Chains A and B, each alone.
Chain A
Amino acid sequence: MTEPLNGENGLRSVPALFRRNAKNNPSAPAYREKEFGIWQTWTWTDAASEAEALALGLIDLGIKQGDFVAIIGRNRPSLYISMVGIEMAGGVPVPLYQDAVAEEMAYVLGHCGARYVIAGDQEQVDKVLEIQSDLPNFEQMIYLDPRGLRKYDHTHLHSYAGILENGRAKSGALAAELKSREDALNYDSTCVMLYTSGTTGRPKGVVLSNRNIIEAARSSSEFDKLGAGENVLAYLPMAWVGDFIFSIGQAAWTGFCVNCPESQGTMHTDLREIGPTYYFAPPRVFESQLTNVMIRMEDAGKTKKWLFDTFMAHAKKVGPAILDGKSVGLLDRLKYALGEFMVYGPLKNTLGFSNVRIGYTAGEAIGPEIFDFYRSLGINLKQLYGQTEASVFITQQPDGEVRSDTVGIPSPGVEVRIDDNGEVLYRSPGTFVEYYKNPESTADTKDPEGWVATGDAGFFEPDTGHLRIIDRAKDVGKMADGSMFAPKYVENKLKFYPNILEAVVFGAGREKCMAFINIDMSAVGNWAERNNIAYSSYQELAGHPQVLGAIRGHVEEVNRSVAQDDMLSGCQIHRFLVLHKELDADDGELTRTRKVRRKVIGEKFEDLVNALYEGKDEIFTETEVTYEDGRKGAISATLTLCDATTVAPAQKIAAE
């Protein structure tokens, strides 16, 4: 590494960036949160001073340099600021997924040996207290929201406000100590440790240094010309690397404002009120918003529906071209402008996207129809490809070169190459330091020259230089006849239908492919209502013959589309079933970032997979489910197994 130990102008740590912002833009908004119906603002001065008070309070509590402090809660300014405060005091913040059940938390807290925990509210405090006997290193807990905690034993429990007050009171005595700890921070000291959700095995603690975070934030901010005037909405889990980069890294680097929603349920209202200029969402959020729009348009009057259909068709034709600055005829431009006034503008306003200058989606492939819908409205939605180990950025799409099937060109400062076996490798200043307490995994993933294996198979398009991702490298396999098996490719095609929430395709080493389908309750439920189909539960709706019929239609359409691809035509779905329960992270079937855990699902529902291959028409099954509070129960169902027509690739004749 050739970068200097100290960053630009001595800005070698995130706390130093906070101090700089407080000095240069003292009264500019840093964080906002809606509370009691009003947006409350933390200026950069407030943020830096709160971080400092917390650092002093933690030092008084006995925090030592290198101690891990876990943060658990929903997106709130004080929790973001506390991560910076922890770093100021020499500690390492470890944000955790707030919806993790207690035993998941026990592993992570035990693995990093966190001495302190900062919890958002009573729910999180309870979870930690429940597992504290398994955590020998755990000493003190600080809570943000005091509600319901008054009667708790306060020997190891402190209120956040109390810690701040104490820190401010002791600032005289401890200021020198704080200064020496802050001065000791450099580009190589740890900024944050994030646990990867991991589609296989235990979560791994990814250690990211100040260099990783600041360099990644700097180059990505420059790539998209982010300025201090941006507004973002922080609503994605704090434990996710993207949120850390956007809400702390880029925010501290450029000095823009991070807005936290009032509660989970108010996300959409808050989005409209803030009108972010820079917006990030995983594909499922865009999908569900589109589904909602479509459902509501079904209920609209004839004139409105006609207006919507007419102008959306026009937007589809010329919208993306206008957004990319390509030449479009005057008449088309005029019609698009009229559409902007009549349809697109109001629609964007309703969605909260009126001010979005740059939108990103990542994490999963996004359906081309969904992607084009937003772009045709004039929303500059782009894709990026990244992972925790890279401090997010590996490739991004530059303005004007946006397509739904690629993930763009290497981000500034990132080198990307394709390995002989097709795996994507990268090297960048954002490349992680190590997996905490796991040198073998570190060595497996990162070679001595700093190249990191992503685990994804992909290739560069020869004419554009854009990267295309095919699938997880370890998921790409061979079928019994030796043809290529890429489950994700087929699953994504299935998931692009609004009725299908999740799909899991099996077929590695087999002769035929089979699929599990999860229906999308809001889309299918609305359809059922419209068609007077009565149902009393998710399970009943999922097993309804008409639902199965509709899903079969989707599967067969996908088969026709898959058959077009010579390499992957063997991946057509021969048989499928609609699952009686939604795949859930609490049951370990999905990761916390909602990625399918193929292996776990294959083992858990082995009876169903076998039944599909044995050609049965029906099967009775019982499944264990975990409730949100960690209790377990079981649901049972008789599932119908369906056949789907496949298409022979060459002759295009129905095979069955």
Chain B
Amino acid sequence: MLDQEQGYVTADGRQIGGTVMDMRNITLRFGGVTAIKDISFDIREGEIRAIIGPNGAGKSSMLNVISGFYVPQEGQVYFRGEKRAPMRPYEVARQGIARTFQNIALFEGMSVLDNVMTGRLTQMKAGILSQALWRGKAEKEEVENREICEKVIDFLEIQHIRKTPVARLPYGLKKRVELARALASEPKLLLLDEPMAGMNVEEKEDMSRFILDVNDEFGTTIALIEHDMGVVMDLSDRVVVMDYGRKIGDGTPEEVRNNQEVIDAYLGVSHD
């Protein structure tokens, strides 16, 4: 099923393309603590790839390695076939990778619209002077960027809070605003760190629909970390399971569900 070049076809009939990101034998240490131990897996064009595991399994660290925020001590990250050198966050963003955070990282005092507009920052090219005077290129750029942001706002149905300061929003909406900011940069690869943590059932259903719609409408490749097993199994095409920094499972939700090691990690093993 898994052909390196050809990709594969999902259960619901979507064609998944070749490898976008390839993680080869990644090991990440913080002093004496090994957060990630020799993990390899890939993310393919157009798929929804989940990373799951119990608390402290190293999921967020893994996402930070993918996003380039952490540089692993061992192993290589290949992005679109090229080995990735350590880089600054804005360089990652320019490559077409966007992310949301487990603990919301928005500008609380700014309006939703302004927050979403920051997602366009890496695309803005006008100089300081031109921006300050609001002439020529700056004006044209802002109009174009605003249009993209408005499409995202419409897509995520947050028109009613467009001008509301983020600090005044409930948690579920903040999460949606964060997703909007990530989408505004028109990413090829979208990284979601626990997009549904702390949400109620209705908010989770909404968020799941948005994630599926993003993947469907824009063809965005999505890698996500999630705790809620029901959500993960419904949403994702392939799942990586981590436990204590090791990879203990990798495959379709069905395969992972029947993996004995995964069941043990989640339900515990009896010791007698």
Contacts and interface: CB of A to CB of B under 8 A. Distances in A.
Do A and B pair up? The answer is yes
A263 B12 contact: no
B160 A263 contact: yes
B91 interface: no
A151 interface: yes
Interface in B215-260: 216-217
Given A148-B216, A150-B216, A151-B216, A37 B160 contact: no
Nearest to B148: A36
Minimum-distance CB pairs A-B, first 10: A265-B160, A36-B150, A37-B150, A266-B160, A262-B159, A263-B159, A266-B159, A148-B213, A36-B154, A263-B160
B151 interface: yes
Contact of B151 (A36, A151, A262, A265): A36
A36 B147 contact: yes
B108 interface: no
Contacts of A266: 159-160, 162
The size class of the interface chain A forms with chain B is 10 to 19
Nearest to B14: A151
B48 to A, nearest CB: 15
Contacts of A263: 157, 159-160
The size class of the interface chain B forms with chain A is 10 to 19
27 contacts: A35-B154, A36-B147, A36-B150, A36-B151, A36-B153, A36-B154, A37-B150, A37-B153, A37-B159, A147-B155, A147-B213, A147-B217, A148-B209, A150-B217, A151-B12, A151-B13, A262-B159, A262-B160, A263-B159, A263-B160, A265-B159, A265-B160, A266-B159, A266-B160, A266-B162, A269-B160, A269-B163
A287 B93 CA distance: 49
A624 to B, nearest CB: 19
Interface string A238-271: 0000000000000000000000001111100100
A38 B147 CA distance: 10
Interface of B: 12-13, 146-147, 150-151, 153-155, 157, 159-163, 209, 213, 216-217
A37 B209 CA distance: 23
Contacts of A36: 147, 150-151, 153-154
B12 A37 contact: no
Contact of B146 (A37, A150, A269): A37
B106 to A, nearest CB: 20
A36 B150 CA distance: 5
Contacts of B213: 147-148
Nearest to B152: A36
A153 to B, nearest CB: 12
A127 to B, nearest CB: 16
Interface string A31-45: 000011110000000
B209 to A, nearest CB: 8
Contacts of B159: 37, 262-263, 265-266
Task: Pick from A35, A36, A266 the residue with the most CB of B within 10 Å.
Answer: A36
Nearest to A262: B159
Contacts of B217: 147, 150
